[in-house]
A and B are shown apart, each in its own frame.
Chain A
Amino acid sequence: MNAPVLSVTSLVKRFGHLTAVDDVSFELMPGASLGIVGESGSGKTTTARILAGLEQPTSGTVTLDGEIVGGQSRRARLRQARLLQMIFQDPYGSFDPRRTVAESIAEPLRLHAPGPAAAHRARVGELLDQVGLSARAGESLPRELSGGQRQRAAIARALGIAPRVLVLDEAVAALDVSIQAQILTLLDELRRDTGISYVFVSHDLAVVRYITDTAVVMRHGRIVERGETEQILRSPRHPYTRLLLDSIPSPGWDLDRVARDRRALDAL
């Protein structure tokens, strides 16, 4: 139980001259939730894409359930997908627009767990129920669902093959506040019930605070601060983390303080 389900060691990704991810390492224990926080260009999404096998790292390793993953062979990719699934900001792009949501949810089941169609149908029904979608929503096309419902469907599809890790890339960023809260509480319940682990990639510190136990803060491809999420938010050590925190609007928001933080960071 004390072996990490996911560990990332010295990950580097270069695109030409640009180093998008620069020596990133972290570990994720079973049932834990890790936040990757950063702004655009911080390398957080590239890191997530490497975890899901959508990018190949320039160097460094990703270990899932004790085995190094990577490689482009069909077998290697299937194994990686079996253990780790990814949720994107806009699930619309990852659903086939001509198939019903239930068909899309059944697809990974057919791929990873071949079996009778009736068993798959039953499992799809279970999954829809688990994420709070009606059977009718399952018979709908993706465009007939709202953003929140589509995100639920994406979660159902990812959970179908019981992966160990779910990577969520800005998964609630495009949702209205009231819907965002529904998805966040759903994710919380799922983690409690199934013991799945999350890598939660977000620019939103408030959301990260709610959904994660530990976090890393990334800037220009490097991790500048890491620790327990609550600790990082209460007493940030790196000037960049402090800038991020002070930039969040609140009653009595002090914009001069933000400017001071920015100067402190530039002086580094």
Chain B
Amino acid sequence: MRVLAKKTPARREAPDGGAGDRRDALGVSGLSLTLGTGVPLLADVTVRVGRGETVGLVGESGSGKSLTARTALGMLPRGARATGEVTVADVDVLAAGRRRLRELRRTRASMIFQDPRASINPVRRIGDYLTEGLRARGVPARAVAGRALELLDQVGIRDPGGALRCFPHEFSGGMLQRVVIAGALSTEPELLLADEPTTALDVTTQAEVIALLKDMQRAHGTGMLFVTHDLDLAAAICDRVYVMYAGRIVEESTGSGLFGAPAHPYTRALLEASPSVHGDRVAIRAIAGRPRSLADSPTGCSFRDRCPLAGDDCAETVPAHRPHGQSLAACLRPGQVTP
């Protein structure tokens, strides 16, 4: 993967002198991302993940959720300019050079993706994958094999010895995702970025992989940023959830608060559009229009052209985040029920 991290001369200093608490696993503050051609991708994104915390980043396609997670590791689209501040485990990501970033990704922050097959070399054995990573992370050669066995055992692979000699195609998607998780957590990183890690898996496998992720995370005190399109999943496993729409954060809430009292009309609309297996069978309500990217969203509030509560005032400026119940919502009319 080609990685370009551009330093920007005009980096904004956050009012409190940095991106939140220095002890945070991830601090993103006022992050904006623009392509070289001038197309804006992200605007004023602020995300915080504390040590040992699970934080959800939820949105539909094009909302910028994956982009935000990738930017946290300095993986910017080619020619993109970033402003704002991104700090992972005390490292200033936007200012860091190649070597510093590589060091960061190798030891202190890991990322897992939707398709484990895309991140494992198909012609090399599982054992090679794990030991290579461990060697790069400075584990002595003698200890590597033992450590790899231990890791596979931890993530619930039966017969770890045999698994080391297997090729990726001999594993199911769920089993391979476990191997990738084992690799990602092998250095006990401070931050794990999980980008739709269970989306390609069956529901029952998803539940197992999530249980594993949560256990491993708890054991190592890793902060996790969990990127997903699945509101139910985010609310079920996250301490806090950020909802993204068109390149902006529109709501920040506690996991439980998201369902109990959604503050932003977009969050509410998403919930009303999702059928559920729980409770009484209720009609779903579709949201008119389609999700937008930042570049083709209207002025002011990006959601206003699909929002049933929108008025003329919504077009004036991008609404600031204001507290409502357990949430912070970027809306002039937070918490109002759709007519």
Contacts and interface: CB of A to CB of B under 8 A. Distances in A.
B277 A181 contact: no
B132 interface: no
B286 interface: yes
B143 interface: no
B291 interface: yes
Contacts of B88: none
Contact of B277 (A39, A245, A258, A259): A245
Interface string A132-156: 0000000000000010100000000
Interface in A223-266: 230, 233, 243-253, 255, 258-259, 262
B10 interface: no
Contacts of B270: 177-178
Contact of B275 (A39, A178, A203, A206): A206
A185 B284 contact: yes
Given A177-B60, A251-B256, A243 B204 contact: yes
B232 interface: yes
Contact of A177 (B203, B207, B231): B231
Interface string B252-275: 000110010000000001100111
A158 to B, nearest CB: 20
B157 to A, nearest CB: 16
Nearest to B203: A247
B290 A146 contact: yes
A207 interface: yes
B20 to A, nearest CB: 27
B93 interface: no
A2 to B, nearest CB: 26
Contacts of A262: 204, 208
A233 B214 CA distance: 27
Contacts of A184: 275, 284, 286
**Which of A180, A207, A249, A258 has its CB near the most chain B CB atoms (within 10 A)?**
A249
A249 B233 contact: yes
Mostly helix, strand, loop or mixed at chain B's interface?
helix
B61 A176 contact: yes
Contacts of B230: 249
B304 to A, nearest CB: 15
A236 B256 CA distance: 27
A182 interface: yes
B158 interface: no
Nearest to A38: B202
Interface string B203-218: 1111110110010000
A211 to B, nearest CB: 8
Contacts of A203: 202-203
A258 B284 contact: no
Contacts of B211: 255, 258-259
B278 interface: yes
B2 interface: no
Nearest to A39: B202
Given A39-B202, A248-B203, A251-B236, A206 B287 contact: no
Interface residues of A, number: 36
Given A39-B202, A177-B270, A247 B60 contact: no
B259 A209 contact: no
Contacts of A39: 202-205
B237 interface: yes
A179 interface: yes
B273 A248 contact: no
A73 interface: no
B206 A178 contact: no
B264 to A, nearest CB: 14
A185 B275 CA distance: 11
A50 interface: no
A205 interface: yes
**Which of B203, B230, B291 has its CB near the most chain A CB atoms (within 10 A)?**
B203
Interface string A164-190: 000000000000111111101100000
B281 to A, nearest CB: 6
B274 A181 contact: yes
Contact of B210 (A185, A230, A251, A255): A255
Given A39-B204, A244-B204, A255-B207, 19 more contacts: A177-B270, A177-B274, A178-B290, A179-B290, A181-B273, A181-B284, A181-B287, A206-B276, A246-B207, A247-B207, A248-B203, A248-B232, A248-B277, A250-B236, A252-B236, A253-B236, A255-B214, A258-B204, A262-B208
10 contacts: A39-B205, A177-B273, A179-B291, A209-B281, A233-B277, A248-B277, A249-B207, A249-B236, A255-B207, A259-B211
Q: Which 7 A-B pairs have the closest CB atoms?
A: A181-B273, A249-B236, A178-B287, A210-B275, A39-B202, A181-B286, A253-B236
Interface of B: 60-61, 202-208, 210-211, 214, 229-233, 235-237, 255-256, 259, 269-270, 273-278, 281, 284-287, 290-291
